[in-house]
Structure 1
Amino acid sequence: MTTATISVDEFQALEQKVLRAVEIVKREREARAKAEAEVTSLREQLEFQTLVATEAQTAVTTLTKDRDAVRLRVEKMLQQMDDLL
Structure 2
Amino acid sequence: MSPSSLESQIAEHSVSEPSEMHDPETSGNLALSSSDFSALEDRVARTVQLVKSERQARAAAEQRADSLDTQLHEQLALVKSMQEEVRALNAERDQVRQRVERLLSQLDALEV
Q: Map of 1:1-80 to 2, 5 A cutoff?
A: 3=13, 7-80=33-106
**With structure 1 as the length reference, what TM-score do the two structures score?**
0.91
Kindly indicate which of the two structures has a greater share of residues assigned to helix: 2
Structure 2 length as normaliser, TM-score? Answer: 0.70
Alpha-carbon deviation of 1:16? 0.1
Q: What residue identity is the alignment partner of 1:32? A: R
CA deviation vs aligned residue, 1:23-66 (integer Å, no higher than 9, x gap):
11101100110110011011011101101100110010000000
Which one scores higher on RCO, CA 8 angstroms, separation ≥ 6?
2
Runs of 5+ unmatched residues, structure 1: none
The alignment of Structure 1 onto Structure 2 pairs a total of residues equal to 84
Q: Kindly, what percent of the aligned residue pairs are identical?
A: 43
Query: Root-mean-square deviation (CA), in Å?
Result: 1.5
Q: Which runs of 5+ in 2 are unaligned?
A: 1-11, 15-29
1:8 CA displacement: 2.5
